[in-house]
Chain A
Amino acid sequence: MNIAPVARTYTIPQPLPLDSGQVLEGAQIAYETYGTLAADKSNAVLVCHALTGDQYLASPHPITGKPGWWERMVGPGKPIDTDRHFVICANVIGSCMGSTGPASLAPDGRPYAMRFPVITIRDMVRGLVAMLDGLGIAQLHAVVGGSMGGMQALSLAANWPERAARVLVIASTARHSAQNIAFHEVGRQAIMADPAWAAGDYYAADARPDNGLAVARMAAHITYLSEAGLTEKFGRRLQDREAKGFGFDAEFQVESYLRYQGSGFTRRFDANSYLYITRAMDYLDIAEEHGGKLANAFAGTQARFCIVSFDTDWLYPTTESRHVVHALNAAGAKVSFVELSAPHGHDSFLLEHDQLDRVVKGFVE
């Protein structure tokens, strides 16, 4: 059975309170669904997207035309089976694919730009919970996420423990490390150093801070891959030339690849959204939200957890997953944890991996 995706936008009827103390009025959440919601609404699976992801989980992206970002995992008969489950994927607030973010119009009719309030991962989840309320879903069969999606899954479990029966966290963390923050700061500074950024007020201008955003994406993209993966894919091979040109073109294949990644990204992503979402991730420290002890965040939880890491992921390494697992053990939670072997670093969660498929299928079923 091939069920066509359904695209919707939910307007949160009440002001959305934020961790900063501000509120977001009339916030909208754009989402896609796949499959059919059971009459008792017990079969909903929420998949949370990563930093530059969106709601186009298993349906083509409207700008790039590329397949959904997790099409290999979600669909009829796939590990997250849309014949059995009603799968929801929503664009987080702060993003730029239909949910309210810095590019959206503020009540005064002009884009928020940098007037958009700084948000947190918990604020994103607060928005998702409001959307679930709107859909009448009291408890998710499962919440699933990789990378920043995993942070949202953990935040949901910590702050709304009754809202998900199963929590699957892949290649993620409960806190952003100094190194994580440092890489994000490089990206933000690249954007802000672009004259076209214009203090964030570029929406009406001819030029956008595409150069800065592309550099941010290039730097970040390196952190998603492993050294071995880069070596295998590109080595020191040159691009479209036989010999070094003694210049600064993209002579190496790896340079050409990064430039392509960077410029492609600017076609589909808003620079200010990149600032806000990376900031939200940097603010993540679930233990800090719960008296400094991560186990407290999960005290009394009835949910089942599954934590997955990849051995070559140096962005959110296995030690961070273990830290979460230890806290869940201390809280007496029902938890599984496995470190999978994969050559491709952090991005492994998006790529072909039979073991990951079996773990996801076994856990979500």
Chain B
Amino acid sequence: MTLRPDLAAIAAHVTPGSRVLDIGCGDGALMAALESASGCDARGMELDGELVERCVSRGLSVVQGDANLDLANYPDKAFDYAILSQTLQTATRPDLMMDELLRVGRRAFVSFPNFAHWRTRAALMLGGRMPVTRALPVSWYETENIHHVTVEDFRDLARLKGAKIERAWYFSNEKQIGAPAANWRAEFAVFELSR
């Protein structure tokens, strides 16, 4: 099974044998890859009960829960990595979720769709409407993405939270691209943070 590019980047850079919490783990694709290929002890959190059931039936340890509330129950630095893939922009308070992420994990991976990608900018500037793009395919009134974020916004938030950006990866059209002008060119970004 091929992983989504942002998940593949994360999977490739998690130290084998780590304890990992995947927040918003979906159907558990990343967790399964981390457990089978990297020998990690992976735990997941997912809001959607049907996805949780699929994870549990494939033998993964996943808790049905709301990352906005339930991260509080994990002890400090309980994990080597806390992973938040494509979930930050859905959080009630992304800034508080960043705090929790950096509290429960020694390091964190965060991936998100970049709202400053040129397609998004063009849709808004030329079309005058909230963008519906390849990366953000859902209309404004039904999208789960309630806090859109750009690469630059995220760098600012990391700075504000005293988090160090260890590494970053950028993707467009499912392929990794270089860092230059990433805030224009990246549809998705992945950051590795420490604090």
Decide whether A and B are members of one complex: yes
Which residues of chain A have C-beta atoms less than 8 A from B57's C-beta?
Answer: 358-359, 361-363
Chain A CB within 8 A of B41 CB: yes
A334 CA / B49 CA spacing, docked (Å): 18
Partner of A362, one of B59, B64, B74, B78: B59
Please give the number of chain B residues whose Cβ is less than 8 angstroms from any Cβ of chain A in the complex: 22
Mark interface residues in A330-365 (1 if CB within 8 Å of B CB, else 0): 101011111111000000000000010011011101
Contact status B63-A339, CB under 8 Å: no
Chain A residues with CB under 8 Å of B43's CB are: 334-335
> Is the beta-carbon distance between B63 and A337 smaller than 8 angstroms?
yes
Inter-subunit contact A355/B53 (CB<8 Å): yes
Q: Is A332 in contact with B75, judged by CB distance below 8 angstroms? A: yes
Contact of A337 among B64, B74, B78 (CB under 8 A): B64
Give Cα A245 to B10, complex, Å: 71
A338-B75 in contact (CB<8A)? no
* A304 interfacial by beta-carbon distance below 8 Å: yes
Residues of A within 8 A of B78 (CB): 329, 332
Q: Does A27 contact B (CB under 8 A)?
A: no
Chain B interface mostly? mixed
CA separation between A25 and B183, bound complex, in Å? Answer: 76
Contacting residues, chain B, for A359 (C-beta < 8 A): 53, 56-57
User: CA A122 – CA B62 in complex, angstroms?
Assistant: 28
User: At the interface, yes or no: B88 with Cβ under 8 Å from chain A?
Assistant: no
Question: Do B62 and A362 touch across chains, with their CB atoms under 8 A apart?
Answer: no
Q: A336-B61, A339-B64 are in contact. Are A326 and B73 (CB under 8 A)?
A: yes
Pick from A332, A336, A358 the residue with the most CB of B within 10 Å: A336
Given A304-B61, A334-B41, A335-B61, also A340-B73 (CB < 8 A): no
A336 touches B63 (CB 8 A): yes
- The one of B50, B62, B73, B75 in contact with A336, judged by C-beta atoms closer than 8 angstroms, is B62
- Proximity bits, B43-60, A CB within 8 Å = 1, else 0: 100000110110111111
3 residue pairs, one from A and one from B, having the closest CB atoms: A362-B57, A326-B73, A358-B57
Residues on B facing A (Cβ under 8 Å): 41, 43, 49-50, 52-53, 55-65, 70, 73-75, 78
Additional A-B contacts beyond A332-B78, A338-B64, A361-B57 (10; CB < 8 A): A322-B65, A326-B73, A329-B78, A335-B43, A337-B52, A337-B63, A337-B64, A338-B56, A362-B57, A362-B58
